[in-house]
Amino acid sequence: MTKFAFIFPGQGSQFIGMGKDLADAFPEAREVFDEVDAALGQKLSELMWSGEEDQLKLTANTQPALMAVSVAAMRALQSKGIEVQAAAFVAGHSLGEYSALAASGAISVADAARVLRIRGNAMQAAVPAGEGAMAALLGADPDQAIALCELAQAEGGVCEIANDNSPGQIVISGSKAAIEFAASKTGDVGIKKAMMLPVSAPFHCSMMQPAADAMMKALAGIDIKAPVTPLVANVSAAPTSDPAQIRRQLIEQVTGQVRWRESVEYMASQGIELFVEAGAGKVLTVMNRRTVKGVDGLTLGTPEDVESVAQRLS
């Protein structure tokens, strides 16, 4: 039997129409969207399937919407007899960590939707518009990225590693002036180039502290159970099933680095041969191939995917 992990994408994977074919094909998937709509008191599914893209791109909508698609895909797969606990691990990229926890029974879908709505609003409100920025460093290794951040911080302002996604793809986050300065100095530390990202706030850096405070309050009010299979957490790149630790790491995650490359390397070191990406798109599948040569990846986002993944895992 192939040893595998379920992984869940983060922001940027959304598109209008995502999850509609799953809802049409599987009553179990439809139920997830109904549950999210009820929890939010909003027809989020209508926005996802036939709304305006700029509305879906609002962080407060994107986060619960992507979680809904991921969990709906998992429920569809479960209807074929494949249970979450058949996987050795679950892991998610940033907001995808909430999808992983909802799929593995640690957090209810309704709580995940409500908490992600709070998270989206809090992250948006943490820094006034135009004061923060993010940039992707192309061809950078972690040491070069650290050197670049130190260079920018010496000039004043916040410049921190937000995401270590895969070899050669690191994202920095912080104050607009510091990130722009860093982007102009990539050559000084041997990095090919930096690309400014079209984001509305500087995610996963210390400027997000007000959002972390908001999440501390929001998460205090929800029940977190042990997931049915261990979660490899963003901030530690290590597995946990402890509810208290999960709660703490979800708060740390708001200002902390998403250690995705290390998470994938850890899972591969534990014998994972196949990553199944549940939800919209295939961003993680592409990144993981750069991280671990020869690793297998499948997407789980359409009814056809559900059939082929179920066949592969049966």
Q: Is there a catalytic annotation at residue 70?
A: no
Which residues are bridge partners to 6 per DSSP?
90, 276
Three-state secondary structure along the chain?
A: CCCEEEEECCCCCCCCCCCHHHHHHCHHHHHHHHHHHHHHCCCHHHHHHHCCHHHHCCHHHHHHHHHHHHHHHHHHHHCCCCCHHHCCEEEECCCHHHHHHHHCCCCCHHHHHHHHHHHHHHHHHCCCCCCEEEEEEECCCHHHHHHHHHHHHHCCCCEEEEEEEECCEEEEEEEHHHHHHHHHCHHHHCCCEEEECCCCCCCCCHHHHHHHHHHHHHHHCCCCCCCCCCEECCCCCCEECCHHHHHHHHHHHHHCCECHHHHHHHHHHCCCCEEEEECCCCHHHHHHHHHCCCCEEEEECCHHHHHHHHHHHC
Q: Which residue has the tokens 């999808």?
A: 99
Q: How far apart are CA 30 and CA 42, in angstroms?
A: 15
93 given a catalytic annotation: no
Cα–Cα distances (Å) from 228 to 93, 118, 121, 242, 297, in that order, read 19, 25, 29, 11, 22
Q: How far apart are alpha carbons 55 and 141 in whole angstroms? A: 35
Strand partners, 276: 6, 298
Catalytic entry in 45, 94, 99, 166: 94
Q: Which of 249, 211, 210, 208 is nearest to 227 (CA)?
A: 249
- Spot the catalytic one: 13, 99, 166, 204: 204
The residues annotated as belonging to the active site are: 94, 204
